[in-house]
Chains A and B, each alone.
Chain A
Amino acid sequence: MRVKVISRSTDDFTRERSQDLQKVFRNYDPGLRSQEKAVEYTRALNAAKLEKIFAKPFVGAMDGHIDAISCMAKNPNHLKAIFSGSMDGDIRLWDIAARKTVCQFPGHQGAVRGLATSTDGDLLVSCGVDCTVRLWKVPMLKMVDTSDHTGDNSQACTGWIETYFLHQQSSHGSMHFLIIFVLTAVRGVDHQWDGNLFATAGAQVDIWDPNRSEPINSFQWGNDTVLSLRFDPGECNILITSASDRSLTLYDLRTSSPARKLIMKTRCNSVCWNPREPMNFTAANEDTNCYSFDARKLDEAKIVHKGHVSAVVFRMDIDYSPTGREFVTGSYDRTVRIFNYFGDHSREIYHTKRMQRVFCVKYTYDGTYLVSGSDDTNLRLWKSKASEQLGVLLPRERKRQEYLDAVKERYKHLPEVKRIDRHRHLPKAIYNAAKLRRTMIEAENQKAERRRKHSTPGSMPVQPFRKRRIIKEVE
């Protein structure tokens, strides 16, 4: 009798190093494995569950302001730097990594309403209700070798490699190199990407050169206050504003005239361009929805992003991820929501017990974090993916994560996975408000339907929601 033994060549099975993994030889014949779908489904389900378990989005809070935070600006040159302006006129520069204030920019007499930085990150523009536009030099961020650093021990002891040099504080006493007085309160400011102009919004839209004390151009179309404005980061001469006459207005600097106006039923509090799709922008409307438009076809919104339950009085802010695939909104309902750029409902809701009305939100330039500034004087740092593991990942860990994500993505339409993935715990107030809102919308729809039923056929056509909130497009 002959006994057959599995024989394997030693070459295939010896490891080069003792740390190497043992090679596994598999037979990939699909006939041998009939359960692969079941296996992967189970994995997807488990991945969804694990994601829920590890969903801990809140990274930390940064406190220091003594009044509500009204606006923020990120520094395109330094990932961990962010500016924030508050209602008492205080402007601060934060180090996100250390969650500390690096320096303050004192000067504003009233609330700061707008902050913007130049592309090189050296210039900070602020404006406020004290009718001033101020230009500040941003302190340099320099690389410091802590071992060589002997002079300033207050900085050396922190052990960072990068340290800010507050170069002007000592010599001049103040850090701003230009104050411009304007006639009316300024509500918003934005700086061109890859250009040297910036624009302010107030009673009119002014275009400024940082080296001049007067605007190089100013636009006025209608007599209403402009609430916010943004330059298109891809196409730096195009500019969009939202005004209190419920309008969104497009400007073109090259022809030095406004281009088009869109009037909606409610006003937009904030607008933001998609940084990777220069023709698309999203406006955060007062009716709690966000509307994504193509700037070339303003007669209807491309997508209506629903979700927030309250944005009524003051404002709702919006900022796009630098990858252009999602955006974040902060609202009066004390939540921060993340939307897909083509998703009609939010992907994620962040809230904490202590976070009050959110006035401003920003996505950091690496697309990994969010910063929200709220009524409770704190800036909060969130992860954009709630369950993402931060820090260095081993290749194997990364691969596994990728696999789990892919599997989850594949089976996300199946009811179990979907349910787990969508499940969120909400504060009672928000939950109830959302429910109420749903009821109201349903009632509205029903009413419209009944009216339609009782009127002449064709006299009340069904309008898609994308068009319903738009009144007209003004040339």
Chain B
Amino acid sequence: MPKKPTMRRGKPTPGPGKRRRHGPRLPTSMRRELDAMGPGPAHGSDDEEGSDAGIEDVYEYEEGVPEEEAGKNGRYDDVAKYEYEFDSDASDADEDVPSEEGEDMEEDDIDDGDDEEKQIRILQETTGMPREAFDGKKRKQALELPLQHGDGDGPVTIHDLLDNIQGKPGYSKVRKRLQQQERKTMTVLAPLPKVERDKIERKVAYKASNKELTKWEQPVKMNREATTLTFENDTNLGVNTVAAIASEFKPRTEFEKRIAEITQSAEIIEAHKNDGARILELNKIDVEDVRERQNRLAKMRSLLFRHEMKAKRVKKIKSRTYHRMLKKDKLKAASADIEADPEAVKEYARKQEFERAEERMTLRHKNTSKWSRRIIERGLTVQDEGTRAAIAAQLQKHAHLTRKMNSTKDDSSSEESSDENEDESDSEAKILNKGKEKIRKVLEEYNEIPNSGVFSLPFMERAMKKREEATYEEARQALEEYDDSLRKLEDDDTEHNEDSYKVAGKRTFGPVKNAHEEVKKRKLEDTENISDSEYDSDTARHLSNNEVITKHDDIQPGSALLDDEPQNDLYKNFSDIIKNPGPKTTFEVGMLAGDSWKKVKSSKGNGQRNVDGSTNKSKVLVPSIVDPKLKQQDHNSDSDSEEDMVEGFLTISDRKEKYELPSQADLICQAFAGDDVEAEFEKDKMDVLNEENPEPEKPALVPGWGQWTDIQQKKGLPSWMLKEHEIAKRNREEALKRRKDSKLKHVIISEHVDKKVEKYLARNLPFPYTSKDVYEQSIRMPIGPDFNPTTSISALTRPAIVKKPGVIIKPIQYEEVNPHEKPNELKRVIQRAIPNRNAKKASAKQGKRVTTQKRK
């Protein structure tokens, strides 16, 4: 028996002799009878164990006596015993049978065992067969026991069993085999040495463990291939519906409790349970209350409607003046408010303060704009009056805005007045004949002008208001009178405007500037004409005049919008370009073509006066586009229309006709007669080679060295120096040979390494990549948020491992994975508190295995 480390623990198993028996069993007398009949099943197993001890079989374990057999605590019953139990009902009574009886029985057992031993020994002696043969027989016997219908005496042999199946199919076969076996001597192989046995065992163990480990291959592969592994805690908390959360709500505050009292009162709940009709009953409302509420709502609605209608009507009025006045009204009302209540005053002050702060911060009106800067750069003195005035106005506005709070009011009034002037003039210009309502407004305004002056005095204000109202009423009543008053007003306004001319200067802007512009433009065009000799000055003037005119037309409507000079200038330049692009291009072409062309054109320009600019341009353009060869043909066709030009060309073409014969190559040769390209290239190449593989320096001594004596001088340079030089030369030659362009005559392939570029190149191909292209492809697309939409960034920049702080990451747990499944982009590894079911099963299995080991 191999001495294996057994896993048996605790008490040693009691031997068969010392076994104590509990539980149901037969009375002794009956047992004895049974014993006499033959060896009992229980005893058979005992024998087996005893005989096992002698067997030298490698593959058999020493079977520990199973617990049920050891009868440790009488929990287990023998099968045989179980059978007997049905026979006797007195098992319970026998429970307390004194131990003597048990001992008796055991003695019997021993005797029985002894008998058998003797028998085997005798058999062994007589037959000379090994002990196993008999043992085996006996074992079989024990197994077949239930079949036995027995005659009690003597052991049962196989032949006895065979008798039973005599005549049945296959009997002869069995008998033959049996005979054969009996004839053969039974040999058992000699057991292997322990070392070998252990080796085999280990091999098996290794195989098993390998198999077990191989099952992990798939999940591990998946994990490795996943671009991201996310380790997360199990966030499933169980509660996930709002209702589930709401069900746990308990009222805590006073209010909540009261609500709960109502909602959870028995009545309400009852009503809910039924059909809800009763809830209505509970929900009593007074009729009066309802009516009142309805009335109130209706009133509100009608008010709202009226207001809406009014707003609509007001909105429909297209008059700018009206709106301006409306705005002013509002302002006035606000100012009245300011007078009336301190809240509004505060509000107003705050607003003012804000504006002031804003102005101080932005300095918007302090010559910071592009326009004003440019004007200042040019010099204010150069500018016309309008511009200066505009600048001044702006500065004034700045001053006003940045002035301290206390003094703002006075300024605002003056501002207003100036505004009004403007408005009035506008209205006068535009809507003289428009509705009377508007006129009334103007009148109102007119009346109000002095009002603003004495703004600071409340009583004055009030008085004014009253008077205004009176006039308003009056005006309404007497409409005819208004016409007269309107006329009067007109006169007043014109006067006003004349005054304002000087101050604002906006109206005067157009004409003044126009004159100015004209002067400028003429100058400009003169210069142009001078430079463009080909350009007909008269036509140009004519054109430019036209331009000026059109420009004025353009400007006049624009002047209201564009009140600054530089913009107009710009505008003018633009229009220039747009209006006459032709001449300019022709000029350039002329320049390209050469001087002769210019001359031709100028002479031609003198001749042609009537021809307009467009035809002129086309004529000039043609030669520049067409090839010199084609030109000749063109000439012939054009000659009749343009005599002057043809002459110019004819002189050239005559010269060229002599060289009709030479081929293309000859032409090129002639063209590049001066320069020897090949030699130059050779030289260039040599330069490059020398630069990249410099020629070794000629061996030379430091002046003064090696020149002490004649002998030294005669000897010349030391041999090592010459040798070194030789080697260097050879190296260079080799290097030159190794170059890629060494055999390519017309090519220079630079092998110069640019250090600056080298910084941005990987020295060798990084590990997982197998080709340069793949690597370059992999870093081609940028991943940053500046180059990619937000939706894709997170996928591009996600790290390989994502873990949350504080999450305990457990070792891998086995999960079946589909081998054909594609590796996922993002794999979540959830750290469950309880391992998943599969793993649990596996561990349970392992646990079982361990327990079986223990029993061995």
Contact = CB atoms under 8 A, between A and B. Distances in A.
Contacts of A195: 843, 846-847
Contact of B782 (A40, A254, A405): A40
B631 interface: no
B493 to A, nearest CB: 32
B209 A194 contact: no
Interface string A318-336: 0000111100000000000
A60 interface: no
B832 interface: no
B441 to A, nearest CB: 33
A366 B805 contact: yes
Given A235-B212, A414-B762, A415-B759, 5 more contacts: A39-B786, A40-B784, A252-B206, A254-B208, A366-B808
22 contacts: A76-B808, A216-B9, A217-B853, A234-B811, A235-B216, A238-B209, A254-B849, A275-B812, A277-B223, A278-B213, A278-B220, A296-B214, A323-B809, A325-B801, A365-B809, A368-B805, A402-B797, A402-B799, A403-B783, A411-B779, A414-B759, A415-B761
B766 A322 contact: no
A366 B231 CA distance: 9
A167 interface: no
B594 interface: no
Contacts of B783: 40, 403, 406-407, 410
B214 to A, nearest CB: 7
Q: Interface size bucket, A side? A: 35 or more
B674 interface: no
Interface string B422-442: 000000000000000000000
Interface string B180-210: 0000000000000000001101111110111
Contact of B846 (A236, A278, A323, A414): A236
Contact of A36 (B784, B801, B839): B784
Nearest to A80: B806
Contacts of A110: none
A391 to B, nearest CB: 8
Contact of B854 (A77, A216, A260, A367): A216
B477 to A, nearest CB: 48
A298 to B, nearest CB: 9
B9 to A, nearest CB: 6
Nearest to B204: A255
B856 to A, nearest CB: 8
Interface residues of B, number: 71
Interface string B689-714: 00000000000000000000000000
B784 A257 contact: no
Given A233-B811, A254-B849, A276 B209 contact: no
Nearest to A277: B220
Interface in B773-796: 779, 782-789, 793-794, 796
Nearest to B840: A194
Given A277-B812, A322-B811, A414-B759, A405 B213 contact: no
Contacts of B611: none
Nearest to B217: A279
B212 A238 contact: yes
Interface of B: 5, 7, 9, 198-199, 201-206, 208-210, 212-214, 216-217, 220, 223, 229, 231, 558, 571, 574, 758-763, 766, 779, 782-789, 793-794, 796-801, 803, 805-814, 835, 839, 843, 846-847, 849-850, 853-854, 856
Chain B CB within 10 Å, residue with most, of A258, A278, A368: A278
Nearest to B767: A413
Chain A CB within 10 Å, residue with most, of B810, B811, B812: B811
B205 A235 contact: no
Contacts of A413: 762, 766
B763 A402 contact: no
Contacts of B799: 402, 405-406
Given A257-B205, A258-B202, A365-B809, A296 B766 contact: no
Nearest to B570: A1
B846 A254 contact: yes
Contact of B784 (A1, A390, A407): A407
Contacts of B759: 414-416
B295 to A, nearest CB: 40
Chain A CB within 10 Å, residue with most, of B785, B850, B856: B850
A234 B814 CA distance: 8
Interface string A28-49: 1010010011011101000000
A216 B796 CA distance: 53
Contacts of B801: 323, 325, 367
Contacts of B786: 26, 33, 36, 39
A250 B209 contact: yes
A250 B206 contact: yes
Contacts of B209: 238, 250, 252, 255, 259, 295
B779 A235 contact: no
A218 interface: yes
Interface of A: 1, 26, 28, 30, 33, 36-37, 39-41, 43, 76-77, 79, 193-195, 197, 212, 214, 216-219, 233-238, 250, 252-260, 275-279, 295-296, 322-325, 365-368, 390, 399, 402-403, 405-407, 410-411, 413-416, 475
Contact of A323 (B7, B231, B762, B782): B231
Contact of B808 (A218, A255, A365): A365
B9 A214 contact: yes
Contacts of A402: 794, 797-799
A279 B854 contact: no
A80 B807 CA distance: 11
Contacts of B216: 234-235, 277-279
A475 B202 contact: yes
B213 A252 contact: no
Contact of A475 (B199, B231, B798, B812): B199
B762 to A, nearest CB: 4
A52 to B, nearest CB: 18
Given A217-B7, A399-B797, A259 B206 contact: yes
Contacts of B847: 195
A475 to B, nearest CB: 6
Nearest to B199: A475
Contacts of B779: 37, 410-411
A275 B811 CA distance: 5
A407 B793 CA distance: 12
B782 A212 contact: no
Given A39-B784, A279-B216, A407-B784, A255 B809 contact: no
Contacts of B813: 234
Contacts of B212: 235, 237-238, 252
Nearest to B571: A1
Nearest to B574: A1
Q: Which 3 A/B pairs are nearest by Cβ-Cβ distance?
A: A233-B811, A322-B809, A275-B811
